[in-house]
Structure 1
Amino acid sequence: MTEQLRPFEVGDCDIVAAYSKEQALTLLNEYYGDNFTLEDMDITDLSDDLDRKFHLEEGGAETLGELMSRVYKPQYLFGW
Structure 2
Amino acid sequence: MTEQLRPFEVGDYDIVAAYSKEQALTLLNEYCGDKFTLEDMDITDLSDQLDRTIHLEEGGTETLGEIMSRVYTPQYLFGWE
TM-score by length of 1: 0.99
Residue pairs, 1:1-80, within 5 angstroms = 1-80=1-80
Q: How many residues in Structure 1 have an aligned counterpart in Structure 2?
A: 80
Say which SS state the counterpart of residue 7 (structure 2) adopts.
strand
Q: Distance in 1 between matches of 2:68 and 2:50?
A: 8
Identity %: 89
Q: CA deviation at 1:41?
A: 0.1
**Residue segments in structure 1 that go unaligned for 5+ positions in a row:** none
Say which SS state the counterpart of residue 24 (structure 1) adopts.
helix
Q: Distance in 1 between matches of 2:58 and 2:36?
A: 30
Q: CA deviation at 1:73?
A: 0.2
**Residue segments in structure 2 that go unaligned for 5+ positions in a row:** none
Say which SS state the counterpart of residue 36 (structure 1) adopts.
coil
TM-score by length of 2: 0.98
Q: Distance in 2 between matches of 1:56 and 1:25?
A: 23
